[in-house]
A and B are shown apart, each in its own frame.
Chain A
Amino acid sequence: MTIQILNGLVYGSLLLVLAAGLALIYGLRRVVNFGHGAFYMLGAYAGYTAAQAGGFWAGLAASAVVLALFGAVLDRLVFRALQDRDPLVTVIVTFGLLLVIEDAVQWIWGTEGRSMDAPALLAGSVALGGDAFPVYRLAVIAMAAALTAALLAWLHRSRAGLFVRAASLDPAITAVQGVNTDAVAMLVTALGAALAGVSGVIAAPFLSLSPAMGGQILVDCFVVVVVGGLGSLGGAALAALLLGQVQVLGAVLLPDIAALIPFLTMAAVLLWRPTGLAGKRL
């Protein structure tokens, strides 16, 4: 049972990093990025290639850089150009990007699944209550916690973070105060994409790589941000950890309906409290 709860925590941690990026981008651009799962997959593959040359940590860094650049370009060319249009138009454009990225990944890396090794430092397993548990999975929890802490510190302790919070609260007033909100949005989109890329690499050693890996996790990510409240990092964190438990414990305790619980929870939250458990109205 401890193992199951830990496994839930591992998946929840992964969702947390991914959903944080989604929530950040929504906060600034009021766009739900349907391509977020594809970013995660692209990040995983980019990291995979870099890791073959320079090992896991090089892969992690390369993925963050590549996806940050990708996010910056996306914001400059798409989000900024479309900011005065119906947000649904931008959402559909991100859906088009999803198709392009999935296809490009199949083109470059092929359709067969790939696997990536955990770094040597974190290979092997430890004994927990009589069961063996991979060290790498514990490291996933630690990495997610560190990333979240760093993100929160940046948002609440730095000047740039202050601008981000202000711009997501009210872009017009923030711009009037002399903040370049377009630059802030570009930074945040780059950061959100980088977080997606990083979570792809983090996932790679324990979930295998495939062009379809983005689709399933995108839906889980939506469940997280909707239940947690879009634009609310705290709510998303809570929802991510809960969903991780529901996924894993549900599969053990209620195998028949476990897969449905997240969707039904999401539907119920959207209808009962459209703002999410803690957050802004869509």
Chain B
Amino acid sequence: MSGAGRIAAGALAAAAAGPAIAALVPPGVLLSLLAQACIYAILALSVGVLARQNGMVSFGHAAMFGAGAYLAGIGLGAPGLLPAEAALPLAVLAVAAVCFGLGLIVVRVHGIAFAMLTLALGQACFEAANKARGVTGGADGLTVALPREIFGLPAATFQRAEGMFLIAWLAMVALAALAALLARSRFGLLTEAIRENEERARFLGYGTVLPRAAVFALSGGIAAAGGVLYVLYNGFVSPETVHWSVSGSALIMALLGGTRTVWGPLAGAAVYFLLREQLVEVTERWLGLLGILLVLVMVFLPDGLSGLPRRLRRRHGAEA
């Protein structure tokens, strides 16, 4: 089977698993946790796409996530202006477009400097969300009333765990499949070549800024899609959503899972949420334990958990 066929088959199988999980898990706290996990997994996916294709580590993706949430919330709050069916995709497209413009500039910054820049820009967005009271409601946040129906689905579907889990799951699978298809396309290979050696790619005659900016835009759009689902589910968004600790959590998920594969960050998000749920039961110190886990993974498993099978195979091959 060709690579694209494998991705399609994997995505279909994963999509089919969604209803099965929803049927097996009793509605309640756990399903609500899974719905949240899927939404943050989309954010982790966006961080992972940027790391995988551009080799860039972002400490500021909560800004795109929050921007998607705020734009969707503002759009839903003005139903006379735009129908919800237009406002939600527009929120994602607007964030992607801004990220493309921003990307043309910021992808020229590399490595640690990029990490610091994203942290600073993310905090700038946090400050802006706090300060622009007229638009964002300031520190009090923005409460969003959903219209009675969106895309033919009753509003309650989006705000109940059973409904949102399925929607977020399917969105997560679709976005991951899109990222995987793009990664193995000509465009994806080109960005990987630039990631490995930008100068050589330029010598081969490729422009290197546009593809990298396009990846940044894609990553921002994916994060914004997560933010849109967040505001639909919670009916509320506040500057806390844009805080750098959210960016940090998303980065932890992506790195725990590993960014060499597209699905790594999704696995990382699952581990993050399930581990947190288990740890909270026994200790309040879960954040510290998570930090220790992050350090251990970075030191001993730089490819993350999703790199584990490959690593084991290689070790096995060496012994044989």
Q: Which residues of A contact B (CB under 8 A)?
A: 31-32, 78, 81-82, 85, 87-89, 91-93, 95-100, 102-104, 107, 215, 219, 222-223, 226, 256-257, 259-260, 262-264, 266-267, 270-271, 274, 282
Contact = CB atoms under 8 A, between A and B. Distances in A.
A88 B121 CA distance: 19
Nearest to A107: B285
Interface of B: 57, 59, 105-106, 108-113, 115-117, 119-121, 123-124, 127-128, 130-131, 244-245, 248, 251, 255, 284-285, 287-288, 290-292, 294-295, 298-299, 302
14 contacts: A31-B112, A82-B299, A87-B111, A89-B298, A92-B294, A93-B294, A100-B288, A100-B295, A107-B288, A219-B119, A226-B116, A263-B127, A271-B105, A282-B112
Contacts of A256: 131
Contact of B113 (A78, A100, A226, A264): A226
Contacts of B123: 219, 263
Contacts of B302: 85, 89
Nearest to B283: A107
Contacts of B106: 267, 271
Given A96-B292, A97-B295, A99-B294, A263 B109 contact: no
B124 A264 contact: yes
Nearest to A102: B287
**Interface class of chain B by DSSP:** helix
Given A85-B302, A263-B123, A100 B291 contact: yes
Contacts of B292: 96, 100
A262 B126 CA distance: 13
Contacts of A85: 302
A263 B121 CA distance: 6
A61 B34 CA distance: 49
A95 B116 CA distance: 12
A270 B113 CA distance: 8
B68 to A, nearest CB: 20
Top 4 A-B residue pairs of the complex, sorted by shortest distance between their CB atoms: A103-B288, A99-B291, A263-B124, A96-B294
Contact of A93 (B57, B111, B299): B299
B91 to A, nearest CB: 22
A223 to B, nearest CB: 6
Contacts of A219: 119-120, 123, 244
Contact of A274 (B59, B113, B291): B113
B295 A266 contact: no
Contact of B295 (A93, A107, A263, A271): A93
Contacts of A89: 298-299, 302
Contacts of B109: 270-271, 274
